Amino acid sequence: MREKIIGILGGMGPEATIDLFTKIVKGTKVKKDQDHFRILIDNNPKIPDRTLAIQGKGPSPLPQLIQSARLLEEAGADFIIIPCVTAHYYYEPLKKKIRIPILHIIEETVRFVEKRYKGIQKLGLIATTGTLRTGLFQKAFSSTGIGLILPSSEIQKRYIMEAIYGKKGIKAVGPSEESRMLIIKAAESLILKGAQAIIAGCTEVPLVLKEGDISVPVIDPVSILAQAAMAKAKSPKR
């Protein structure tokens, strides 16, 4: 049985792409190099910013997303994963332009939460302004009975977007203690509102927010996507 080839449509940002790749490599039980999964990566940081596009302040990333997805498909990928939550706003039009499937990071996260955290009632969500505006997580969780607690506009701007997009943010200088503390403060504000766990709903967030940093569990969609990709890669190739 031949394992499926994983395609990573990356570059949004590069640090998140490294994180996903690393989690697949570290999460694979191996005895030798040949036991690892074959992975194709298009690290394309030239894809226009997703949040700016959603806010009407920048060009659509869809043409570049399609170009990268087709590149991976033509190179031999059997399916695609995207280490950028906000990019999933374009999931439906993107998947129509290729023949291979795309695993959906938010849908995988919902399935994980329902299985792992049965009985949980409230989750705090840390994500980009673009992701919050699209309602991607809100729609995905709407049928589960789990309520999502969102940051106030002040917390969103002052802590979350500053940690991700600021001059000393993760996208500019990589993970730092400064961005870590900003995200922790945002998480703590959600915990005070009743959050029983925090979703790291932007793929940059798990770079600085780890399990044990706060008093409730951290749900990491990047780790969840990595596990889903490994499971799919092992499934029989049709």
- What is the band of 238 on the pLDDT scale with cuts at 50, 70, 90? low
pLDDT tens per residue across span 177-194:
999 999 999 999 999 999
- Report long-range pairs for 112-121 (Cβ below 8 Å, ≥24 apart): 112/219, 112/224, 113/141, 113/144, 113/146, 113/197, 113/219, 114/144, 117/196, 117/197, 117/217, 117/219, 120/146, 120/196, 120/197, 121/145, 121/146, 121/147, 121/196
Cα(first)–Cα(last) distance of the chain, in Å? Answer: 10
What pLDDT score does 1 carry? 64
Res. 236: pLDDT tops 90: no
Residues 117, 121: Cα–Cα separation, whole Å: 9
Average pLDDT over residues 151-158: 98
Asked if omega into 13 is within 30° of 0 (cis), the reply is yes
Average pLDDT over residues 9-38: 96
Task: Look up the pTM and report it.
Answer: 0.95
For residue 75, give the H/E element and its range: helix 62-75
Across the chain, mean pLDDT equals: 97
Res. 2: pLDDT tops 90: no
CATH 3.40.50.1860 placement within the chain: 6-104+223-234, 106-221
CATH number of 6-104+223-234: 3.40.50.1860
Residue 75: other Cβ atoms inside 10 A: 12
Residue 199: strand, helix, or coil? strand
Structure tokens at 184: 């922790």
* DSSP 8-state class, residue 49: P
pLDDT tens per residue across span 203-234:
999 999 999 999 999 999 999 999 999 999 99
| Catalytically active residues, by annotation | 84, 202
Residues 6+ apart with CB under 8 A from 115: none
- What is the band of 235 on the pLDDT scale with cuts at 50, 70, 90? confident
Average pLDDT over residues 21-28: 97
Res. 5: pLDDT tops 80: yes
Residue entry with tokens 């009985």: 119
Q: Are strands 122-126 and 79-81 parallel, antiparallel or unpaired?
A: unpaired
CATH number of 106-221: 3.40.50.1860
Residue 174, Ramachandran bin (φ over 0: left; ψ between -120 and 50: alpha; else beta):
left
Please, are residues 174 and 150 in contact by the beta-carbon 8 Å criterion? no
What pLDDT score does 40 carry? 99
Average pLDDT over residues 8-28: 97
Residue 122 forms beta bridges with which residues?
A: 147
Q: Which among 87, 81, 86, 92 has a CA at the least distance from the CA of 125?
A: 86
Q: For 213-225, give one letter per residue: b (16+ CB within 10 A) or e.
A: ebebbbbbbbbbb
